[in-house]
């Protein structure tokens, strides 16, 4: 029996690439010099798409594959997949939740600590001789005992909140409604009010049309000149222009960001700021988690083509 043909949208680590190649007839979209020509040639044979959360699969790609049955996303976010196009053609969609939750939460906490305590600048202070020449590093701000807000208390948001408890912080959250599993946390329905009550605001929402720019000017200014915004979700949840203006003018104190519009080509205005910590969208970037993500991506594809229940369906 011939292997199912799949379209691979972006590269994976070698430990994932080899078993993917063994199990499927893989067409590497990301390697094609003429991507439209590749789709025209192999599109009719494609039964599955293996993609990454930030790459997704748009309507044009989906329509170029008339026999497409399943899209498997390497990542928890699936906002870059045209779900409406998939619904219209009964195409299954899967992602890789849970396996990356704890690593993403860990990085969010690390970003808060790193930015609040000025650890990047402090290391440079040692390395460039400033410690010996200028003396002690400028004072920064404490974390423990302060106020934290979590915008979106799903899997990742809840793990962030659990970690924040270890710093004896006052913790509140916003979501579509109060969560029964979060009785020890304070529910604040309005994101603006949540920001007003927070020193650190973590954005851990799933991205959708509803949440696009939910962190806009009002939320950012409510967080204020002594506040810090930490985004480990999706760039679309934040109005980047409003964020940049607030950081440039001091209406927001600090930001720590793992995601950006148009990444990896982020807005160059970010590079001129010394009150923002920039990370290369690597919240799930540990060997252990990436291996688990790759395995789950393949498990979803294999289950579909074997006629079995999908481990982690979105559609």
Q: What is the pLDDT of residues 180-229, one digit of tens each?
A: 999 999 999 999 999 999 999 999 999 989 999 999 999 999 999 999 99
User: 141, 248, 263, 269: which is the annotated catalytic residue?
Assistant: 263
- pLDDT (0 to 100) of residue 1: 65
The torsion angles phi and psi of 149, rounded to 5 degrees, stand at -120, 140
CA distances from 169 to 74, 116, 225, 257 (A): 33, 14, 19, 21
- For the chain, how far is it from start to end, CA to CA, in angstroms? 27
- Can you list the residues of the chain whose pLDDT is less than 50? none
Rounded Cα–Cα distance for residues 66 and 71 (Å):
13
Cβ neighbors of 212 (< 8 A, separation 6 or more) are 236, 237
Based on the residue annotation, tell me whether 234 is a catalytic residue of this protein. Answer: yes
Marked catalytic residue, from 234, 290, 298, 304: 234
- Given this model, what pLDDT does residue 136 score? 97
The whole-model pTM stands at 0.92
Annotated catalytic residue 281: yes
282 is catalytic: no
Using CA atoms, how far apart are residues 260 and 238, in angstroms rounded to an integer? 9
Say which of 281, 290, 298, 304 is annotated catalytic.
Answer: 281
Nearest-5° Cα angle at 209, 223 to 252: 15
Secondary structure (3-state) at 204: coil
Distance CA 298, CA 312 (A): 11
- Predicted confidence at residue 263, as pLDDT, reads 93
Please report the pLDDT score of residue 147 as a whole number. 98
């Amino acid at each position: 029996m011939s292997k199912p043909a799949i379209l691979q949208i972006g590269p994976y680590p070698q430990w994932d690439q080899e078993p993917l190649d063994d199990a499927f007839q893989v067409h590497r979209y990301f390697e094609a010099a003429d991507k439209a020509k590749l789709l025209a040639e192999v599109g009719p044979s494609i039964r599955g798409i293996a993609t990454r959360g930030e790459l997704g699969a748009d309507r044009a790609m989906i329509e170029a594959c008339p026999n497409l049955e399943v899209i498997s996303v390497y990542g928890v976010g699936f906002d870059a997949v045209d779900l409406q196009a998939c619904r219209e053609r009964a195409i299954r969609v899967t992602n890789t939740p849970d396996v990356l939750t704890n690593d993403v939460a860990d990085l969010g906490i690390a970003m808060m600590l790193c930015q609040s305590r000025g650890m990047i600048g402090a290391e440079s202070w040692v390395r460039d001789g400033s410690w010996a020449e200028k003396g002690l590093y400028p004072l920064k701000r404490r974390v423990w005992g302060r106020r934290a807000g979590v915008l979106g208390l799903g899997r990742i948001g809840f793990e962030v909140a659990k970690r924040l408890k270890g710093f004896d912080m006052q913790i509140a959250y916003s979501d579509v409604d109060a969560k029964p599993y979060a009785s020890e946390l304070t529910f604040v329905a309005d994101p603006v009010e949540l920001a007003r009550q927070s020193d650190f605001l973590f954005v851990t929402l799933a991205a959708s049309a509803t949440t696009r720019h939910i962190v806009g000017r009002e939320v950012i200014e409510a967080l204020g000149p002594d506040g810090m915004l930490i985004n480990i979700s999706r760039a679309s949840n934040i109005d980047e222009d409003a964020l940049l203006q607030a950081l440039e003018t001091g209406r927001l104190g600090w930001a720590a960001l793992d995601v950006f519009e148009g990444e990896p080509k982020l807005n160059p205005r970010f590079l001129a700021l010394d009150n923002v910590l920039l990370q290369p969208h690597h919240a799930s970037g540990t060997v252990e988690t990436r291996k688990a993500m790759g395995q789950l991506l393949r498990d979803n594809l294999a289950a579909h083509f074997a006629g079995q229940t999908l481990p982690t369906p979105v559609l």
